[in-house]
Amino acid sequence: MQDWLLGSWRLMRADASLDFAPGVRMEFMEAGELLYHIDVGGRDQVIALRYRVEGNTLHTENSASAHTMSVRFEHGVGDVLKLDFAGAQAWLVRESESVAPGDIV
């Protein structure tokens, strides 16, 4: 487990090919739960995922849709989370805000 990964991260920028929506947030919790936040029409939509870390690879799965993904990651300078999707990259910065339990879908 990478303790520095725990907490909330907000998308700072991403390569255009990734098609990330503005305002994407990821909240990593201790028990392997990842809350993925996206803005849908001005409303925060939260998708509950499971995650695990193997070395510098982050594996996620969505049991509701049988979707899995693996991405290389690193802890960059200035407390930046860098995700590398086989060359296309995204950078997230740490934030202190967390989701209210009733907002999870």
Q: What share of the chain is helix, strand, coil (3-state, %, to 5)?
A: 10, 60, 30
The rounded distance, in Å, linking the Cα atoms of 69 and 88 is 14
**Quick one: pLDDT at residue 97?**
52
Tokens 């725990």 belong to 6
Residue 1's pLDDT band, with cuts at 50, 70 and 90, is low
pLDDT tens digits, 16-31: 999 888 889 999 999 9
Q: How many CB atoms lie within 10 A of CB 49?
A: 21
pLDDT tens digits, 71-91: 999 999 989 999 999 999 999
User: Under CATH, which architecture does the 3-103 domain have?
Assistant: Beta Barrel (2.40)
| Residue 53 DSSP symbol | E
**Quick one: pLDDT at residue 19?**
85
